[in-house]
Amino acid sequence: MARGWNQVIWNRVTAFVAVLALAACSGVADSPAATNSQNQGPANLAAISPVVTCASLTGTDMTAIGGPGSKITQASETTSDGIGVCSVRGTLAPAVNFQVLLPLKTWTQRYLQVGCGGLCGAITLRSGASEGCKVLNDGGFVMAATDMGHTMAESDGAWALDPVRRADFAYRAQHLTSQASKALIRAFYGQEVRYSYFNGCSDGGREGLMEAQRFPDDFDGVIAGAPAMLFTVQNTLYHGWMARSNLDAAGHPILLADRLPILHKAVVATCDRTDGVVDGLISLPAACRFDMASVTCPAGTTDTSACLTAAEADVARKFYEGPRDPETHAFLTAGQPLYGSELEWPGVFVPGGPQGRMMSQMVVPPVMRYLAFPEPRPDATLESLEFTRATLDDLRDHHRLFDATNPDLSAFAAKGHKLIMWHGLSDQHIAPANTVSYQKALFSTMGKRVVGQFERLYMLPGVGHCGGGEGPSSIDLLTPMMTWVESGHAPEAIMSGTTRHRSTFGQPVGMASTAPSEPARPEMLRPVYPWPAVASHTGSGSYTDPASWTRSASTQVVLTHNWSGADLFGPYTFINQ
């Protein structure tokens, strides 16, 4: 149902799996559960046929799940990526719209729920980070998604004035969609689902973590990519800083997209070798020491075609550094975009032209007005946002509502459920340091050995937000997740490869980006390893050949720093609406 890799690359991946399995067997795992074999894979489950007609599902009672007014609105047979399905649409009161696709002939007793991006507002039934997954492509899953309780027509955020709809977006919609979908599965196939999975990126990653933290019974396995887990800070202080930093006193953008290749070329020239191989990617951004002066035009320069003006360089410097409290100089975000991510900035906080809009400009006002703070601030604007410790402290109340940074996953782990997180090192929307900070919090709260029994984190060099970028961004995490849940084989090395398309998985809905099409890159395959280990070049062979890479000892990939909200990654009690 979600295809993307070209067949040549996929054939090479298949041929190399045995090599990775042998490497995994050689003692790289940190937990007893991390055993591997060349024959590992998901369970072999029989396909189950429906026991009732598709149309009959319109009579399925949803009131016990969503309350009065909840109902199935449509059920009809159709095809999805060539697979015959029963497509069911419904509403869970007051306004959670959802869609479920139930295969007519190919269901192998599995369920996959997919998250959304940005502020959501639309149903997106596409699974990312699952390139080449056979069970998915063969129609083995019942699939479902929700709009999180509002539509794009309500883009001003005023829907969040209703505490129930606020809760729907925070945590309720995905939970209820899971319950509704499983009720439809029971009605349609006459049996329970065998294994349930969640796959989301960006806000979908937050949604997945929220499920693991609040509703540990819902899913056997959760895949959370580039999670917007620190939603409140992310969509105020982070995006607000990025937008404001690139506007002059008259509100006009300073740094434009056509200037970014100059900066990116200089950064790569300085830091590409820090990971031991010249491949155009910065795999160890923590080791990058870039001097902005090296790319800044000398005073009086008239030809700026190969350097940044002082004003442009100052914008980039602010991007990398992030906001600080003006009195204490303490950082106000957990991290910022990393060196090497520059070509992913267009459309997010660098517009394509002088009149262009930035996604960062669009997302901050509705969040400031109706979501981030305990009381509505309907007159709040990007210009009124203050980058101070006081603003950060004002976010703390709704941190316990919208954020998914609680590192106590003991209930989830006790049930034998699994979590895979992943993040591209060139992510422009969400700083990779957020995810690394959460990983460190998991270790300190639960212990490395316990965490190693149920969780993995993969950091992808050169990969942008939820995919794309110059690095090998095509990856299948769904098959390893199924293998872990169903067969007990924990993932270690996972193959990543180049792609010729830019994924829309996890991207903000309705906030068009001017990001460029995928750059021309050599076809490459590269293993990625669980954080903090990295793939190191052996010193021989092409960097495009996966056989030229091996696992290296744990190293510092992404720097984290002390900041005023570091405690937000500690255990806390959720609040409900």
Q: What is the DSSP string of 311-343?
A: HHHHHHHHHHH--B-TTT--BSSS--PPTT-GG
Distance CA 100, CA 185 (A): 9
CA gyration radius, the chain:
23
Q: Where are the alpha helices (DSSP H) in 108-259?
A: 134-137, 163-167, 173-189, 203-214, 231-233, 239-245
Tell me the whole-structure pTM to 2 decimals. 0.92
Buried b (16+ CB within 10 A) or exposed e, 314-323: bbbebbbebb
Does residue 304 contact residue 316 with C-beta atoms inside 8 Å?
no
Amino acid (one-letter) located at 565: G
| Domain coordinates in residue numbering, the chain | 1-48+107-179+194-577
Quick one: DSSP state of residue 287? G
Distances (CA, A) of 557 to 55, 262, 529: 52, 24, 12
What per-residue confidence (pLDDT) applies to 501?
Answer: 59
Distance CA 399, CA 235 (A): 12
What per-residue confidence (pLDDT) applies to 577?
Answer: 85
What per-residue confidence (pLDDT) applies to 507?
Answer: 65
Buried b (16+ CB within 10 A) or exposed e, 45-69: beebebeeebeebeebebeebbeee
What per-residue confidence (pLDDT) applies to 502?
Answer: 58
Tokens of residue 435, six digits = 């995810």
What per-residue confidence (pLDDT) applies to 321?
Answer: 98
Q: What is the pLDDT along the chain (577 residues), one digit of tens a residue?
A: 444 444 444 445 544 444 444 333 333 333 323 333 344 899 999 999 999 999 999 999 999 999 999 999 999 999 999 999 999 999 999 999 999 999 999 999 999 999 999 999 999 998 999 999 999 999 999 999 999 999 977 778 999 999 999 999 999 999 999 999 999 999 999 999 999 999 999 999 999 999 999 999 999 999 999 999 999 999 999 999 999 999 999 999 999 999 999 999 999 999 999 888 999 999 999 999 999 999 999 999 999 999 999 999 999 999 999 999 999 999 999 999 999 999 999 999 999 999 998 999 999 999 999 999 999 999 999 999 999 999 999 999 999 999 999 999 999 999 999 999 999 999 999 999 999 999 999 999 999 999 999 999 999 999 999 999 999 999 999 999 999 999 999 999 999 998 665 566 656 655 444 455 545 567 889 999 999 999 999 999 999 999 999 999 877 899 999 999 999 999 999 999 8
